[in-house]
Structure 1
Amino acid sequence: MGVTLSYLGVIVLLPVIALVLKGAEIGPARFWAITTAPRTLAALQLTLLAATMATIFNALYGLLMAWVLVRYEFPGKRILDALVDIPFALPTAVAGLALSALFAANGWYGAILEPMGLPVVFTIWGVAIAMSFTSIPFVIRAVQPVLEDLDPQYEQAARTLGAGRFTIFARVIFPAILPAFLVGVTLSFARSLGEFGAVVFIAGNLPMKTEIASLLAVIRLEEYDYNGAAVIALVLLLIALLLLVVSNLLQARALRYKGKTA
């Protein structure tokens, strides 16, 4: 216990406390001025919007992928299951380069999308795709083990009572996996907020257009504007903490509901 808490304090809590103290030194007026600067607001808005887009896609596709991996048997299933973890193992910079090559005007996907008037590179769509690629395993790996452990007798009982497939999923299966699903979605959104390597290559990093908040923080560091970098990082940290609190409240509510209906 002592080793675990010491590790947690040195690796996680200490940097967070240092960041909070650095932000507190700036003062409320200066903090607000940096946060509400047009370039900062544009970067935060782009980051939040792209992360939301990526998380919505991850929630839908991740749930579908987890369902397929658990409920169906097909050739190559183990290979597909292993491929899910590639974004965890692949350096994000490599992912960004690969996505940029695919969605560029002369890439495999870009050659199809560009003539249709659907550019991806240097747009918010490219940012969202990069965020989705790096964060989708969180949803799949959170839901998959819960689906595997779900007792089939509840589904069989609902089926004998005349419930259809959609009703069984909505009233029996989804409430059971909802806490794990919320965990995966929350982690996916938080991962998207902090994504850097995969985004910088495909976004183009155009100020006020495709510049994400984490990149702006790095730019402020390169400009020796440590206060500006600290404020941007602290805002992202506060958003992530708020999201985790809301997620925990929703999970607790879902577990209470599950206990009442069990």
Structure 2
Amino acid sequence: MIQLLLIPPLILFSITKGEIRFINKFELTLALALHYGIYVLALPISLLLYRTKEQSWNILWRVATEPVVLSAYSITFSTAFLAAIANASFGSILAWILVKYEFPGKKALDAAVDLPFALPTSVGGLTLMTVYSDRGWMGPICSWLGIRIVFSRLGVSMAMIFVSLPFVVRTIQPVSQNTEEELEEAAWCVGASPWTTFRHILFPPLTPSLLTGTALGFSRAIGEYGSIVLIASNIPMKDLVISVLIFQRLEQYDYPGATVVATLVLIASFGVLLTINQIQIWRQTLNG
């Protein structure tokens, strides 16, 4: 068995049964990819956790239990949860429509789904303000209905929905394309209703991808900054979210406080993704 010897910044040789030899091109590619993952992902996260560990427990507890921080956590996770639920519902329907139906403008709509990936998030926030502000296209209608979107928690949810929608759509689309139409037709032949067919034939294969897309969208919504800072008033206890709070702490040179808050968000996001992965493994075990 080959054991690669990690020597930053490159891996030049390996140890096999006590003998040192130069690695081949394939092993070098693996080594470079491994270092890429370490320096880009693992190392920054490790340093953040290390900086947090350097703080005393009194400082950690004081920062984590500040009313402003607790309010920001509550607002962030509640609005991100609402955005995830909305995208899980309407995003799955949109993915199904894009796969199963043909209509004018389908290609344009399919391409528009990826716009939040390509656009700077500040542009997305400016776009939402253009549409939903008091002088925007939908602003007067929303005001007439008594709904305020800009500078409110609803606006925060709208921004989160905007940036996280592609995660749900793009994870469900490939699975929907691979759905066997023969099973659906067989269910209709035996007299199954559309709802029964969806629940027993179509929905089970979509569940893992739906959970994955929803979890990714939820984590993305938690970390959103560019669009929220424009569409929200960023007032504590009103619509201030974690990402904006961290930036405010950095502007105030409160680096320990920003580090602690960022670490708590990191742990929460990682916990959500780990839980979703465990649920998927459990479902695969039951199906196997």
Q: TM-score range by the shorter chain?
A: over 0.9
Aligned counterpart for 1:163 among listed residues 192, 198, 212: 192
Question: What is the correspondence of 1:35-184 to structure 2 with a 5 Å cutoff?
Answer: 35-184=64-213
Tell me which of 2, 6, 16 is aligned to 2:45: 16
Q: More deviation in 192-201 or 165-174?
A: 165-174
Corresponding position of 1:185: 214
Which residue identity lines up with residue 135 of structure 1 in the other structure? S
The reply on whether 1:2 has 2:31 as its aligned counterpart is yes
Preserved CA contact (<8 Å) 1:84 1:137: yes
Aligned to 1:209: 238
Q: Pick the structure with greater CA Rg.
A: 2
Q: Is the Cα contact below 8 Å between 1:175 and 1:258 reproduced in 2?
A: no
Q: Which amino acid aligns with 2:185?
A: Q
**Contact kept? 1:50, 1:124, Cα under 8 Å:** yes
Q: Is the 8 A contact 1:176 1:258 kept in 2?
A: no
**In angstroms, what is the RMSD of aligned CA positions?**
1.0
Q: Secondary structure at the match of 2:54?
A: helix
Give the Cα–Cα distance (whole angstroms) in 1 for the partners of residues 106 and 248 of structure 2. Answer: 43
Instruction: Decide which of 244, 248, 251 is 2:280's aligned counterpart.
Output: 251
State the distance in 2 between where 1:157 and 1:255 align. 25
Distance 2:111 2:77 in 1: 30
Give the Cα–Cα distance (whole angstroms) in 2 for the partners of residues 15 and 212 of structure 1. Answer: 23
Paired with 2:180 and 2:32, the residues of 1 have a C-alpha distance of 37
Identity %: 41
Structure 1: distance between partners of 2:266 and 2:37: 17
Residue identity in the other structure for 1:201: L
Q: Gapped runs of 5+ residues in structure 2?
A: 1-29
For 2:191, the aligned partner's letter is G
- How far off its partner does 1:156 sit? 2.2
Does the CA-based 8 Å contact 1:136-1:188 persist in structure 2? yes
Instruction: State the shift of 1:32 in Å.
Output: 1.2
Letter in 2 for 1:35: A
Residues of 2 paired with 1:76 and 1:102: CA distance? 21
CA change 1:168–1:175 in 2 (3 A) is: same
User: Is the alpha carbon distance of 1:82 and 1:148 closer, same or farther for their aligned partners in structure 2, counting shifts above 3 Å?
Assistant: same
The structure in which a higher percent of residues are helix is: 1
User: Where do 5+ consecutive residues of structure 1 fail to align?
Assistant: none
Q: Secondary structure at the match of 1:26?
A: coil
How many residue pairs were aligned? 259
Q: Which has the higher contact order (CA 8 A, sep 6+)?
A: 1
Q: State the shift of 1:258 in Å.
A: 3.6
